[in-house]
């Protein structure tokens, strides 16, 4: 098997997780570059027992690079096209290209063939969208989904390392009776819930909620699926959870749904109420699968289902999906 020259752009939580996954999954690497801002340049990170010095990102950084993982942020709009011009395939974790009609938006368990249409850039979907469509696709194939109502309960790590630190600092301060500050979030996040992720739009939805609406239609390849979302930040470190209500064209029972989902790629069904078994963020942390449970029929409509979906937002919700896209490119001999 050929080995590839790989670059990771961004050394935050997602970039670090991509680095970890490339080692875990024994990705075929010839040469690895770690690229970041000038502020991070010169620092060292470990990969396969060797120290790699982080370099400042420049257009020339992408010379001879085969695969460039952009881990989010402004670097995508600044350097993604430079990387493509120099021969790299870009797998981008930012929102910059997700709704561009010329850029595939890919979840390998859902729409793997979309990678074949890439023109140099492949977009990684939003974390909350990824885990939802992995769970929706098998149901859609079996019964055709008409409508989705989703409420998310999203971990603070989705907002970055400073958000994680803020939750820790606030929790410690409150427990010790000390004063605390709010810097990352507009309100206290410790012991609290915030129905506010990203900016609010004119239609009253947040940008995060509309990402789920628009990205789901594109990934599933069906503009007829109606999606409405409420996105909530919760004081959990890792693991996004979602309560999903689905209405289908064809009747599907809860038992049929369990069987379908248990046979689908990338899904683990945890659904045994007699033993209190259902997906939990603390159990999905550091896992690559999407966990589904609390599968039950909606008793208010003829063809409705409810389910509870949980996944590690840094892995399957970001880094794992990106690495899987790269593996798919290799498998399909597209690089």
> What is the tens place of the pLDDT at every residue in 212-255?
999 999 999 999 999 999 999 999 999 999 999 999 999 999 99
Per-residue pLDDT averaged across 87-102, rounded?
Answer: 97
Say yes or no: 104 and 48 in one domain.
yes
Q: How far apart are alpha carbons 132 and 150 in whole angstroms? A: 9
Q: How far apart are alpha carbons 45 and 239 in whole angstroms? A: 25
CATH number of residue 293's parent domain: 3.30.360.10
Say yes or no: 185 and 60 in one domain.
no
Q: Give residue 62's domain range.
A: 4-124+318-331
For the beta carbon of residue 260, count every other beta carbon within 10 angstroms. Answer: 18
Query: Is residue 117 pLDDT above 80, yes or no?
Result: yes
Say yes or no: 48 and 75 in one domain.
yes
The answer to whether 250 and 305 have CB atoms below 8 angstroms apart is no
DSSP state of 272: B
Helix, strand, or coil (residue 309): strand
98 pLDDT tier (thresholds 50, 70, 90)? very high
Q: Give bridge partners of residue 69 from the DSSP assignment.
A: 8, 91
Classify strands 44-47 and 50-53 as parallel, antiparallel or unpaired: antiparallel
Residue 315: name the closest of 18, 7, 6 by CA.
Answer: 18
Say yes or no: 63 and 109 in one domain.
yes
% helix / strand / coil in the chain, to the nearest 5?
35, 25, 40
DSSP state of 160: -
Q: How far apart are alpha carbons 273 and 271 in whole angstroms? A: 6
- The contacts of residue 294 (CB under 8 Å, 6+ apart) are 271, 278, 306, 307, 308
Say yes or no: 74 and 141 in one domain.
no
Say yes or no: 164 and 208 in one domain.
yes
pTM above 0.85, yes or no: yes
Query: Is residue 183 pLDDT above 80, yes or no?
Result: yes
Listed in order, strand segments (DSSP E) in the chain are 4-9, 29-36, 44-47, 50-53, 55-56, 67-70, 89-92, 121-123, 145-154, 226-233, 240-248, 267-269, 290-297, 304-311
pLDDT at 73: 84
Say yes or no: 244 and 281 in one domain.
yes
Say yes or no: 56 and 24 in one domain.
yes
Helix, strand, or coil (residue 208): helix
Catalytic residues: 127, 240
Listed in order, strand segments (DSSP E) in 103-198 are 121-123, 145-154
DSSP state of 43: -
Tokens 């063809």: give the residue: 303
Say yes or no: 114 and 173 in one domain.
no
Q: How many domains does the chain have?
A: 2
Q: How far apart are alpha carbons 288 and 175 in whole angstroms? A: 33
CATH number of residue 41's parent domain: 3.40.50.720
Say yes or no: 95 and 155 in one domain.
no
Say yes or no: 171 and 107 in one domain.
no
- The contacts of residue 276 (CB under 8 Å, 6+ apart) are none
pLDDT at 289: 98
Say yes or no: 109 and 150 in one domain.
no
């Amino acid at each position: 098997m050929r080995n590839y020259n790989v670059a990771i752009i961004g050394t935050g939580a997602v970039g670090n997780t991509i680095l970890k996954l490339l080692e875990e999954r024994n990705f075929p690497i010839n040469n690895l570059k770690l690229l970041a801002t000038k502020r991070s340049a010169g620092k060292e990170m470990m990969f396969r027992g060797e120290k790699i010095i982080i370099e400042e990102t420049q257009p020339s950084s992408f010379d001879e690079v085969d695969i460039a993982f952009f881990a989010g942020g402004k670097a995508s709009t600044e350097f993604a096209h430079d990387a493509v011009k120099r021969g790299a395939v870009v797998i981008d974790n930012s929102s910059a290209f997700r709704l561009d009609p010329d850029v595939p938006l890919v979840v390998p368990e859902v729409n793997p063939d979309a990678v074949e249409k890439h023109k140099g850039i492949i977009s990684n979907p939003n974390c909350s969208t990824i885990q939802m469509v992995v769970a929706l696709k098998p149901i859609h194939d079996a019964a055709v989904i008409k409508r989705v109502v989703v409420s998310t309960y999203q971990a603070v790590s989705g907002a970055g390392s400073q958000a994680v630190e803020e939750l820790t600092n606030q929790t410690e301060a409150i427990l010790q009776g000390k004063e605390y500050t709010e810097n990352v979030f507009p309100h206290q996040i410790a012991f609290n819930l915030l129905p506010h992720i990203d900016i609010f739009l004119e239609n009253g939805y947040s940008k995060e909620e509309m990402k789920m609406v628009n990205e789901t239609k594109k990934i599933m390849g069906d503009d007829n699926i109606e999606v409405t979302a409420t996105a909530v930040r919760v004081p959990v470190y890792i693991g996004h959870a979602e309560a999903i209500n689905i209405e289908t064209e064809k009747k599907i029972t809860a038992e049929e749904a369990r069987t379908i989902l248990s046979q689908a790629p990338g899904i683990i069904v945890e659904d045994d109420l007699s033993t209190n078994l259902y997906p939990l963020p603390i159990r999905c942390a550091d896992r690559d699968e999407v966990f589904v449970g609390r599968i039950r029929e909606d008793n208010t409509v003829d063809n409705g289902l409810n389910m509870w979906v949980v996944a590690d937002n840094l892995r399957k919700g970001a880094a794992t999906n990106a690495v899987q896209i790269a593996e798919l490119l290799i498998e399909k001999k597209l690089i």
